[in-house]
Amino acid sequence: MKVIEHINRAKSTLFSMEILPPLKGKSIQSIFDGIDPLMEFKPSFVDVTYHREEYLYKKREGGYLEKVSIRKRPGTVGICAAIINKYHIDTVPHIICGGFTREETENALIDLQFLGIDNVLALRGDSIKSEPEFVPEPNGHHYAIDLVNQIKQMNNGRYMENDLADVAPTNFCIGVAGYPEKHFEAPNMISDMKHLKAKIAAGAEYIVTQMFFDNQQYFSFVNKCREMDINVPILPGLKIMTSKKQATTLSKIFKIDIPQPLLEQIEKCKTDEQAKEVGIEWCIQQSKELIQAKVPCLHFYTMGTSEVTRRVASKVF
């Protein structure tokens, strides 16, 4: 079932989660171990992130540098198939611009269609560590809207080779990312919102937000969207703070603000265990307020912390 169908049929706020592919060398059981504790909350769908390959330059004889591909996590398509097979729930694979040509993107989407997966989250993706800014692949997409356009064209039966006979159109429900505190590369919020509106006009059917710790940021973002006639469902993305260090690392990595009251509570903690308890309670209160506001779904960025997500969910669902 499509994400938008889950939302439209729901009589109350849904529960969903996002998981990371395991590190290379770990088995699929590590994924199942992270999902099992959360199945009691009947997740409507599970997002699976995609981590592109990175590169190292190794010095060879004669002083030459060889570019070596390093892949730290297995692919998203196979993980989605394994989750569907075991749990019979819908998955949302992340499709990114970085590291893919248009042909490779089309092939990945064809594989997903064969598996019966009808949801995708279209993202530009981050630059790799060796690049100061995002660099698309030759004949790849530079922006998420380009990716949305390609998926929508395939939904309309238009593939890259237009002379193919009896081509079956795909049927993907397309989600995109939204940033309550604006994307860090956007010059201002208005510019960021215009790009978001363009992605919706291109065919995206729902928005999942970047994590936030201040619900007012989310409510303000939703209001801005509605004022700009962006009327698709907007799913709040939630992350539970689990250590003292995350008060600074999350802000640095994801370019988000940590509310002063939360920061003060975390700073008073002497141990990470105490900080985790603060983070759990903060997220419980966030979740309760969001449910009271009748948000369509609480989308948890679990990041391998299914137990703390379970503790939050048990208090609000």
Q: What are 301's strand-pairing partners?
A: 18
* Structure token digits, residue 293: 């506001």
Q: Distance (Å, rounded) from C-alpha 181 to C-alpha 221? A: 8
Q: Distance (Å, rounded) from C-alpha 135 to C-alpha 142? A: 7
Pairing of strands 65-70, 54-59: antiparallel
Q: What are 119's strand-pairing partners?
A: 173
* Structure token digits, residue 95: 């499709």
Q: What phi, psi does 14 have (nearest 5°)?
A: -85, 165
* Structure token digits, residue 282: 């903060």
Catalytic residue among 5, 18, 281, 289: 18
* Catalytic (active site) residue 18: yes
Assess contact for 274 and 247: CB atoms under 8 A.
Answer: no
Q: Where are the alpha helices (DSSP H) in 116-171?
A: 144-155
DSSP letter string, 23-34: PTT--THHHHHH
Q: Distance (Å, rounded) from C-alpha 91 to C-alpha 97? A: 19
Which residues are part of the catalytic machinery?
18
